[in-house]
Structure 1
Amino acid sequence: MIGRRARGLQQIGQGLGTLDREIFEAIAESPSPLLDSVMPRLTSAADHSKLWIGIGAALTAVGTPSMRRGATRGLMTLAVTSLVTNQGAKRLWKRPRPDRTPVPLIRRSLRNPTSNSLPSGHSASAAAFAVGVGLESPPLGFGLALLAGLVGLSRVATGAHYPGDVFAGFGIGAAVAVLGARIVPPIVEAPPTASELLRLDTPPRPAGEGVVLVINPASGSGTGARVVDEVKAQLPRAEIVEVGEGDDIADALRAAAARAEVLAVGGGDGTVSCAAGIAVDAGLPLAVFPGGTFNHFAKDIGCDTVAATVSAIRNGHAAHVDVIRFNEADTVINTASIGAYPAFVRVREKLEHRIGKPLAGAYALWRTLRSDQAVRIAFDNTTLQTSLFFLGNSVYAPSGFAPSRRSRMDDGLIDIRILETGRRFARVRVLTSLMLGRLVRSPLYHELRVPEFSFVAVDGPTPVAHDGEVENSCEEATFKVLYRALPVFRPLGRQAW
């Protein structure tokens, strides 16, 4: 019985091998000027992954955020695949290269490989890069998959590999990319809400009529002074209120709001948060000039440059966004947190440009879990201990404990992420789930999307940070969405949401 099965499998293998050689000979002997001219150039371009490295560099330089993420994932997947293929798979099964005699001389590649034929390293790298990019940017991945298929064809057409070698390489590259996605999940874009932007009907202000800008020229290591100069040059009728280090910027903003048609502010997210609350209370639209270190709010509304904000004011382009009212007094425009989350973000942002956001996030999480900043909170009939508590204005992507961007800022929701650290072996369980890409399914991870959220600090007042600054300590905290309460000037022609 076993002998018959073994003979049957052997016959199947022999049949596939014969078919493999026959397909190779059919392609190799095919008289085609197109194959003669294109295939050698394409296979040469893919030598040492030059083609994919070049495409990755171009995507990183000029691509969209999803394309840049795809390029990073694709190149990392390619590197792992090359190691697996050349140091592992090629040593498992000895298979000689095809006889290149039937291949026209003009079509043969200049390099005559001497390594094992199975699997095709070029094909494995091509599939790894294409699938890796496609996990972050599916439309681009589809185009790269077609190019990867042509690279695989070029390996057969130039006599370097049998078709079976190419398919084996494709399988290895795709498998490594899929496994990588389980370990470091790709960012899944949050689906857009059904509603359209609520635009503000406001007149164009070509010279900045009615605009009062409050700014500290010394902010942002001199960025504030540059903003002042550009606004004076481009919006000559705007009033500019310059405050110093010892001045109370909240008082200056309230005084400006009393006489402004448009309240404008220059500074980082903490200053913008203060201005947003005053603008909501005064019923005024807000114009934001980036003048801080990260300027997350300005970037998310498309005003990451002075020119973008100036253009929106001149053209009368404004739309409403949500803000969160914290304990009926403070305003949150981006995020709030308790525990060690601010330290987690600082470590991640310090390292993400050197080692990439996934690895930086994992290292920051490990560092944070070792710290002793746990807080016990009670909410929704639940009491738990956490070191990492994130609360965002509108829904952030991706899921998991590395939220980084918003698809909209007017969805009427609060995004809450809580990592529970008080259970037995919590650190090991969290880190293991993170490495396996299963954190969002861990019972220690809690994610809520609600219009209102409250908690009580069980052991007494705890510091609450929001928008990059620690404001106060409180024992009870309530966060409520003010749906589309803040009109902001922003470029409507290049909507991120």
Structure 2
Amino acid sequence: MGFLPLGRRGRGIRQIGEGLGTLDREVFEAIAGSPSPLLDTVMPRLTRAADHSKLWFAIAAGLTAFGNPSMRRGAARGVATLAVTSIVTNQGAKRIWKRERPNRSFVPLARQARRHPTSNSLPSGHSASAAAFAVGVGLESPPVGLGLTLLAGLVGMSRVATGAHYPGDVLAGFGIGAGIAVLGARIVPPIVETQLPASEPLRVDTPPRPEGKGLTLVINSASGSGTGAWVADEVREALPLAEIVELGEGDDVKAVMRSAAERAEVLGVGGGDGTVAAAAAIAVDTGVPLAVFPAGTFNHFAKDIGCDAAARTIRAVREGSVSCVDLVCLNDEQVVVNTASIGAYPLFVQTREKLEHKIGKPLAGVYAMFHTLRRGVPVRIEYDNKTLQTSLFFLGNSVYLPTGFAPSRRTRMDDGLLDVRILETGKRFSRLRILAALALGRLTRSPLYHELRVPEFTFRSPDGPTVLALDGEVGMELDQARFSVRYRALPVFRPVA
């Protein structure tokens, strides 16, 4: 079979285009001319709500105010995608494809839009914005995105029903909006929370203590800018039979805690994460469960076990709700409950947390990374038969979320794993490459980013001892560190999940 001559092929393409155009007009006339009180009532209101993207901005505000983290990320992504799509559609596509608006005479007067647009009909800007927002949100929160996709489809239908666009214009708009959202996900990938196989929590049979009998709480009343004193008062009122030991300025904290643990059935601790780590080691040594009351500055451990308020710990003690969590052991001596780090990681966290409530976590993370890489002193380490230079090294007890170099929370604390994350800064233009990857949301794909989830991890500092920070506090200088998981070693009071 020979090829058709060029002229005949051109005529064939034109005929196909003319046929599709005729079909598009016939479908428009069938929809627009359909007598329906429901269309007359709903479609004009829906298309007006979508004017200037008011509908999508209102939904984004609701998701930001009342949604979970994935919904808030989806709202931000949806609005950003909508903004780009609006520019591409109105300033680009509408000027390239010239098509007149449909004849409104087919549309009942009750259904016609109050103001008839004068711009080119192809593509539909309302439809493009609707698809951009719905797909953008769905990339971060699929269940919400599904509902918004259905709403976006109704908005597209409203543009046909009110006589503003042909069906082909709507389909073209959907394609542009969805395409830009998918392209945006390639540039800034959505956060996908890691799902690890998980076993049931290990519960420990413990008698309820409605009045706190057998609990000895060791607390620094001055900790957390006075939070310790409030916690002590709350425990006195709610658990009147509990013994409360308030630490003095010159007390040996570990000695006081060990004495309390040896005479108590439950060791309670109120303080920061460093104090909690010391109490955890003593609780394991003496074989008593630990009750953690948040009385420090950040209380990361207390928050991750569900005891972000003293009232939640009190309820767990009253109900006898105890389950086991992992601990990390450093060189078979030091206990770590949250994190260990070398280099400038503590500076990175402090800078990010200071700014994230003002400018948002993504921008705060980029600035904190720039600030840290510029000021941090790199350290050479050896591990797994490789040597690299790093300014940011993080090791966590159990797997943290999200992936990347902004770990912030744990959904499980009994997975038997260490979460190790390293940024390599010794290669050419490494700082610039890291900042660019972070800004584009592609840090986890960078060859300069290393992430491991292992039960044991050992590193050595070939250039001499390096400072190791443990649970947010400067720990010690070591030239070699071996971390190992003590799987479900610590029974701790926490609310039932």
Give TM class, smaller chain.
Answer: over 0.9
Deviation track 1:211-268 (CA, whole Å, cap 9, x = no partner) reads 1112222222222222122212211211111224443433332222122211122222
Displacement of 1:2? 4.3
**Post-superposition offset of 1:54:** 2.1
Matched residue SS, 2:366: helix
Larger radius of gyration: 2
In structure 2, the residue matched to 1:286 is 290
Q: Please, which moves more after superposition, 379-388 or 92-101?
A: 92-101
Q: Distance in 2 between matches of 1:97 and 1:268?
A: 66
Checking the alignment, whether the CA contact within 8 Å between 1:182 and 1:437 is kept in structure 2 is no
Instruction: Tell me by how many angstroms 1:476 deviates.
Output: 0.7
Match of 2:211 among 204, 207, 213: 207
1:310 pairs with 2:341? no
Equivalence for 1:80:
84
CA–CA separation in structure 2 for the residues paired with 1:183 and 1:355: 21
Once structures 1 and 2 are overlaid, which stretch shifts more, 315-324 or 217-226?
217-226
- Is contact 1:337-1:465 (8 Å) kept? yes
1:330: how far off? 1.9
| Alpha-carbon contact 2:340-2:469 (below 8 Å) kept | yes
Task: Give me the whole-angstrom Cα distance separating, in 1, the residues matched to 2:215 and 2:139.
Answer: 45
Correspondence for 2:371? 367
User: Any conservation in 2 of the 1:119–1:166 contact (CA below 8 Å)?
Assistant: yes
Q: Can you give the 5+ residue segments of structure 2 that lack an aligned partner in the other structure?
A: none
- Does 2:391 align with 1:384? no
Residue 444 (structure 1) aligned with residue 448 (structure 2): yes
Q: Which moved more, 1:454-463 or 1:286-295?
A: 286-295
Q: In structure 2, what residue type is equivalent to 1:465?
A: A
Q: Output one character per residue of 1:316-370: Cα deviation in whole Å (capped at 9) or x when no partner.
A: 1121111101122222212111111111122222222233322322232222222
TM-score normalised by length of structure 2? 0.94
Normalising by the residue count of structure 1, what TM-score does the alignment of the two structures yield?
A: 0.94
Shift of 1:291: 2.1
1:257 aligns with 2:265: no
SS of residue paired to 1:396: coil
Match of 1:47 in 2: 51
Residue 66 of structure 1 and its aligned partner are, at CA, apart by 2.1
Identity of matched residues, % = 73
Residue in structure 1 matched with residue 164 of structure 2 by the alignment: 160
Conserved? CA contact 1:183–1:434, under 8 Å: no
- Name the aligned partner's letter for residue 175 of structure 2: G
Is the Cα contact below 8 Å between 2:221 and 2:229 reproduced in 1? Answer: yes
SS of the equivalent of 2:88 reads helix
Match of residue 97 from structure 1: 101
1: CA distance, partners of 2:93 / 2:17: 18
Contact 2:113 2:162 in 1 (8 A): yes
How large is the Cα RMSD of the aligned pairs?
A: 2.0
Cα distance in 2 for residues equivalent to 1:212 and 1:404: 31
Residue pair 1:395, 1:414 contacting (<8 A) in 2 also: yes
The corresponding residue for 1:69 is 73
1:274 aligns with 2:278: yes
Shift of 1:3: 4.0
CA distance in 1 between partners of 2:192 and 2:352 (Å): 20
SS at structure 2 position matched to 1:448: strand
SS of the residue 1:49 aligns to? helix
For the residue of structure 2 that corresponds to 1:30, the secondary structure is coil
Aligned residues: 493
Question: Residues 334-349 of structure 1 correspond to what in structure 2 (within 5 A)?
Answer: 334-349=338-353
Q: Flag structure 1 segments of 5+ consecutive residues without an equivalent.
A: none
Give how far 1:454 is off: 0.6
Query: Kindly tell me: are residues 248 and 378 of structure 1, through their superposed partners in 2, closer, same or farther at Cα, counting changes over 3 Å?
Result: same
1:58-94 Cα offsets, whole Å, 9 max, x none, are 2222222222222232233223333333333333323
Amino acid of the residue matched to residue 459 of structure 1?
A: D
Establish whether residue 410 from structure 1 lines up as the match of residue 414 from structure 2: yes
Query: 1:352–1:360: 8 Å Cα contact kept in structure 2?
Result: yes
Q: Which residue of 2 aligns with 1:225?
A: 229
Change (3 A) 1:61 1:31: same
Question: Retained in 2: the 8 A contact 1:74–1:133?
Answer: yes
Distance in 1 between residues matched to 2:106 and 2:466, nearest whole Å: 77
Q: Distance in 1 between matches of 2:350 and 2:20?
A: 56
Matched position secondary structure for 1:182 = helix
Question: What is the SS of the residue equivalent to 1:390?
Answer: strand
Distance 1:220 1:205, change over 3 A: same
Alpha-carbon separation, structure 1, partners of 2:314 and 2:152: 45
| Matching of residue 462 in structure 1 with residue 448 in structure 2 | no
1:428 is matched with which residue: 421, 432, 440?
Answer: 432
The answer to whether the Cα contact below 8 Å between 2:420 and 2:451 also exists between their aligned partners in 1 is yes
In the other structure, the counterpart of 1:322 is 326
Stretch moving more, 442-451 or 49-58: 49-58
| Cα distance change on mapping 1:328 and 1:97 into 2, 3 Å | same
Find the counterpart in structure 2 of residue 174 from structure 1: 178
Show CA shifts across 1:22-70 (max 9, x none).
2221111111222112112222222222222222222222222222222
CA distance in 1, matches of 2:84, 2:486: 47
CA separation of 1:377 and 1:100: change in aligned 2, threshold 3 A:
same
Determine if contact 2:328/2:337 at 8 Å carries over to the other structure.
yes
The residue identity in structure 1 corresponding to 2:429 is: F
Contact 1:394 1:410 in 2 (8 A): yes
Q: Which moved more, 1:19-28 or 1:76-85?
A: 76-85
Deviations 1:184-223 (A, max 9, x none): 3222122142411111111111111211112222222222
